[in-house]
A and B are shown apart, each in its own frame.
Chain A
Amino acid sequence: MAPGTLSGLLQKGAIWGFIVLELIFFSVAGEFLSLSDKAFMDLDNMLLLLKQSAPIGIIAMGMTIVMINGNIDLSVGATFALAAIVLLDSMTWPIFAGLGDGVIPVAMALALLTGIVLGAINGFIVWKTGVDAFIVTLGAMLGYRGLVFMYNGEQPTSHLNWTLVDLAEAQPLGLHVATWALLIVTVLAWLVMTRTVHGRNAYAIGDNREAAVNAGIRVGPHMMLNFMGIGFLAALSAVVFYSESGSVNPNDGELYELWVITAVVLGGTKLTGGAGSVISTLGGVIAIQLLRKGLGHIGADTETVNLVIGLILIAVLFLDRQLNIKGKEALKA
């Protein structure tokens, strides 16, 4: 057995073990504390949980790639909101009046395009200026949110298209459309990161950028592509969510970047880049949603939920660090 296999396995499996623990805990605790008589691990409840994981989860897939690549994107929440506005508002534009329900794909395409363009702007600035992605996307976060408010002031932007709502509420093969979107995005992201040249290069650049340049990899365009990808996914997340809700507040999507990063980090992706896994991120996303739902199930309020998630995040990272140190010492021998 190669050295570090055990700790590697522990790390990779840890998030799923944690999920199982949560399920057991909330099922048992729910028996005593829950106000409803419904079991926690009820099928409908679990399906709902997956659906509710989708908005954060879809963005988290893009964030995993960007973070493995050695960057970060703080502007996803604002991109999410702006794409949502484009989706809902474009359906009311006079030029599309004659399209009927044909406006739906047009509005979706416009929303997704918005995400790609915003991501491209981030990526282009990171590429051409060499300024750290943290700073660039921090600026973008404020800037894009500014655009959201410029659009409609403090007012919500609303438009309900019942065909679209029906579409979003459909449950092909038992899963919600949002869940399908999350699963498909996860599989695609996994294929990209484990099977393609782009994925290979993303890891290489995140681990050692200079060596990647010296291997002839064009780092700038590569990173820009990843930012376009996460912009697209932030918009896709908005499309999935607002098709059903039909109304955006200008504050929507705030703190999404932090929830997304929490899920990615909980899944074991390194903040410094070069290591991480799309599948573990899915685990991170589900673990967080389980916590929220489970704590709600046993009667905790939102503030308590946030406190607990914060503590668990720190505890998990501490554990991960301990495992890493142990693994390294065994190697040095």
Chain B
Amino acid sequence: MSDATPALRLDGIVKTFPGVRALDGVSFSVLPGEVHALMGENGAGKSTLMKVLGGIYQPDEGQITVSEVPVVMRSPLEAKAKGIVFIHQELSLATELSVAENIYLGELPRKSFGRVDWATLNARTNEILSRLKVGFGPGDRVGDLSIANQQMVEIARALTVDAKAVIFDEPTASLTDAEKVVLFDVIADLKKDGVGIIYISHRMEEIFRITDRISVLRDGQYRGTLETAKTNEEEITQLMIGRKLDLSRSEATHALGDVALEVRGLTVKGLYEDVSFEVRKGEVLGFYGLVGAGRTEIAETLFGLREPSAGTIHLNGEEVRIHSPADAIARGISLVPEDRKGQGLVLGMNCRDNMTLPQVDDLTAGPFVADGAEIAIFDQYRDRLDIRTPGWKQQVGNLSGGNQQKIVIGKWLSMHPDVLIVDEPTRGIDVGSKSEIHNLIRALAAQGYAVIVISSEMPEVLRVSDRIVAMYSGRIMRTFTAETVTEDNLIQAISGIAASAETAA
């Protein structure tokens, strides 16, 4: 393999923006039939590099070579024509159109007078779909497909050209475990066909599962390439963040307080059923399960976004009914939502205004908002959570994912909640900030908050939780304590295998 001509080679790519050297001499090559991981923290230059490869940016210096042919790409269309194809994290499909129309969008086969040649279109589409072994046809409406299948349509689109290199950008972000397996099979097939693959992901388990080599970027510079088989998580991380990462759970055990939240027989028809659990003050209760197991929906019910069809919620021993987020907040329940940008933050607003949004009602002097009180709150939580921003006037949209998440957490802490629910605390956050958020969650528990953490990443739940609730298809399968949990029985529980196993609490 190592003697083959690279499918894609980068030589000394430099790209500067006013004031920043976003890419500073990046060189590496991807061999045909290789899955090559590209890793780096947010801001390391991955996105810029991808835009250079995609023809969106032109490099200031350096050369891109596809199968030993130097190429210059001035537009995404040109990049595709040269054999470089992208599978984006965010799907760009016309959901009202059919699968076939999407795959050949812009290149529909035509007959006379510009009429679409449906027969050819469907035949070609069928050919590609059979290669991918998917369960949908050319005529299906894309909007009716699952996210995973929509991604398959994107991949099918890539296969319409003679792709030399296919770039996957965080492809598993919204996939379930079963869907991931299908995706990895497709990647394996592409590999067999001799396509070079660049795989961008923050998820270590995937990196180790499917990649052959790993190239690391930091601060716009190329930091080296590792053989996946001969390296480990620690080495990669060190290369990415330039220092050692403390993965240990560094904390003295603290005593648990009274039960803060008790849920009995909670049900939302069609989403989850008969869910019962309790969280104590000072405890982190993890919810682990596949996407669609009902975890987020439970959080939404507790936060007043869904009406339960049965069951009770007790807060500090008192039964409560929660009909809206305003109710939940007033009773001391806060939710750090899964989709930070879509549900948690007002991106066009500054840091301070975002942080005080739920309580600005109370921060008034006469009819007007009291600036000073707001800034005081912002300063307090910026220091406490170590939020790195040039100042409170900074627009939240300009912060890194980790700092954005801290703004959301700070927003709720400043409301002094009893129960803090954190849904996917580190989604889209880079490795360095990840462990910071984990430590923060542990610290909050130590300070006496009752914390619920929902996560799809096993290492994360294992690391932050005192107890773990395993969910499968809308039901709690089992509740583990730190002593009873192992990776194996956790996986069994969330795949429904342990359905018959007795409940150990």
Q: Which residues of A contact B (CB under 8 A)?
A: 2-3, 191, 195-197, 200-201, 203-204, 207-208, 210-218, 274-275, 329-333
Partner of B329, one of A3, A203, A216: A216
Partner of A214, one of B330, B335, B360: B335
A147 to B17, CA, bound (A): 59
A217 to B335, CA, bound (A): 14
- In the assembled complex, the CB of B300 is this many whole angstroms from the nearest CB of chain A, namely 10
Q: List, in ascending order, chain B residues with CB within 8 A of A203's CB.
A: 346, 348-349
Residues of B300-354 at the interface with A, using a CB-CB cut-off of 8 Å, are: 303, 305, 324-326, 328-330, 335, 337, 342-349, 353
Partner of B346, one of A2, A191, A207, A330: A207
B325 near A214: Cβ-Cβ < 8 Å:
yes
A215 near B390: Cβ-Cβ < 8 Å:
no
A-B contact pairs, 27 of them (CB 8 A): A2-B393, A195-B367, A197-B369, A200-B357, A203-B348, A203-B349, A204-B357, A207-B349, A208-B342, A211-B345, A211-B357, A213-B325, A214-B303, A214-B305, A214-B325, A214-B343, A216-B324, A216-B326, A216-B329, A216-B358, A217-B326, A218-B324, A275-B348, A330-B17, A330-B18, A331-B398, A333-B20
- In the assembled complex, the CB of A184 is this many whole angstroms from the nearest CB of chain B, namely 16
Pick from A203, A204, A274 the residue with the most CB of B within 10 Å: A204
Q: List, in ascending order, chain B residues with CB within 8 A of A218's CB.
A: 324, 326
Is B394 interfacial (CB-CB < 8 Å)? yes
The 4 A-B residue pairs whose C-beta atoms are closest, nearest first, are: A333-B17, A216-B326, A195-B368, A333-B20
Q: List, in ascending order, chain A residues with CB within 8 A of B483's CB.
A: none
Residues of B349-385 at the interface with A, using a CB-CB cut-off of 8 Å, are: 349, 353, 357-358, 360-361, 364, 367-369
Partner of A210, one of B20, B342, B368, B394: B342
- Give 9 A-B pairs besides A208-B347, A211-B346, A215-B325 with Cβ atoms closer than 8 angstroms: A191-B367, A196-B368, A215-B358, A216-B326, A217-B326, A275-B348, A329-B17, A331-B398, A333-B22
Q: Which residues of B contact A (CB under 8 A)?
A: 16-20, 22, 303, 305, 324-326, 328-330, 335, 337, 342-349, 353, 357-358, 360-361, 364, 367-369, 390, 393-394, 398, 411
Which residue on chain A has the smallest CB distance to residue B365? A195
A333 near B18: Cβ-Cβ < 8 Å:
yes
- In the assembled complex, the CB of A6 is this many whole angstroms from the nearest CB of chain B, namely 12
Given A212-B357, A214-B335, A216-B358, decide whether A3 and B345 contact each other with a Cβ distance below 8 A: no
Given A2-B393, A213-B325, decide whether A195 and B369 contact each other with a Cβ distance below 8 A: yes
Partner of A216, one of B325, B337, B349: B325
- In the assembled complex, the CB of A74 is this many whole angstroms from the nearest CB of chain B, namely 25
Q: List, in ascending order, chain B residues with CB within 8 A of A3's CB.
A: 398
Q: List, in ascending order, chain B residues with CB within 8 A of A197's CB.
A: 360-361, 364, 369
- In the assembled complex, the CB of B342 is this many whole angstroms from the nearest CB of chain A, namely 6
Q: List, in ascending order, chain B residues with CB within 8 A of A331's CB.
A: 398
A208 to B364, CA, bound (A): 23
Which residue on chain A has the smallest CB distance to residue B336? A214
Q: List, in ascending order, chain B residues with CB within 8 A of A217's CB.
A: 326, 357-358
